[in-house]
Amino acid sequence: MAEAPELEALYQKYEDDGFIVITLLGENMDSQTPSQSDLEEWADSLGVTHPVVADPNFDYTFGFIDGNSIGLPSMHIIAAGGEVVARDIWADENDVQSYLP
């Protein structure tokens, strides 16, 4: 949750340049697959306008993780064309700028 406001600020600043932020939530507070209501509440509570989607059992997230352990949050940069250019980093503005089209 700590990174959400920073990512939202970067999203707002660079959205017109093609930068997209997508937050994947693997579970809700009850360790269940997040419902649409859970996703909306999470986004609203943090003032997030970028997409927030459910990732049941972290299935999609595991595709970016080496090994079988997830350190959350897990942030990745996927460049134009879908190429994963940075895995499990804390992306900052310099990172975003370096991969913009």
| CA 67 to centroid of chain Cα atoms | 20
* Predicted pLDDT of residue 79: 78
- pLDDT given for residue 2 in this prediction: 78
User: For 8-63, what is each residue's pLDDT tens digit?
Assistant: 898 899 899 888 888 889 999 999 999 999 999 999 999 999 899 999 988 888 87
Span 73-99, average pLDDT: 80
Residue 48's pLDDT is what?
92
DSSP string, 4-41: HHHHHHHHHHHGGGT----EEE---TTSSPPPHHHHHH
Predicted local confidence at residue 62, as pLDDT:
80
Q: Which residues, other chains included, contact 94 with Cβ-Cβ below 8 Å and sequence gap of 6+?
A: none
